[in-house]
């Protein structure tokens, strides 16, 4: 990730950096890594994420079919 600072505009660069980090999910990753996560909890979390992703994709395909 690279942010270019123009004319010492640090606030604008920080805003852009935060936006990119949020978009890429780095804040969630940092929060998740603050504490140890047991393997069973990790599996459950990954399964829930996969379920959410599958449901979103299914909704999108249904929406395109109905249009």
User: Would you state the pLDDT for residue 64?
Assistant: 81
Do both 45 and 30 map to the same domain?
A: no
Residue 66 predicted with pLDDT over 80: no
Do both 1 and 27 map to the same domain?
A: yes
Residue 31 predicted with pLDDT over 80: yes
User: What does the alpha-carbon distance between residue 20 and residue 23 come to, in Å, rounded to a whole number?
Assistant: 5
Do both 2 and 31 map to the same domain?
A: yes
Prediction pTM value: 0.58
User: Would you state the pLDDT for residue 65?
Assistant: 80
Do both 47 and 65 map to the same domain?
A: yes
Number of domains in the chain: 2
Alpha helices (H) in the chain, listed in sequence order: 10-24, 26-32, 39-66
User: What does the alpha-carbon distance between residue 58 and residue 41 come to, in Å, rounded to a whole number?
Assistant: 26
User: What does the alpha-carbon distance between residue 37 and residue 39 come to, in Å, rounded to a whole number?
Assistant: 6
Domain encompassing residue 52: 38-67
Do both 27 and 52 map to the same domain?
A: no
Do both 30 and 47 map to the same domain?
A: no
Do both 7 and 30 map to the same domain?
A: yes
Selected residue with higher pLDDT from 37 and 1: 37
């Amino acid at each position: 990730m690279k942010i270019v600072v123009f004319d010492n505009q640090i606030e604008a660069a920080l805003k852009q950096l935060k936006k990119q980090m949020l978009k890429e999910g780095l804040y969630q990753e940092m929060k998740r890594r603050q504490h140890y996560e047991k393997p069973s909890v990790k599996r459950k979390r990954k399964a829930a994420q996969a379920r959410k992703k599958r449901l979103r994709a299914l909704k999108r395909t249904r929406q395109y079919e109905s249009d």
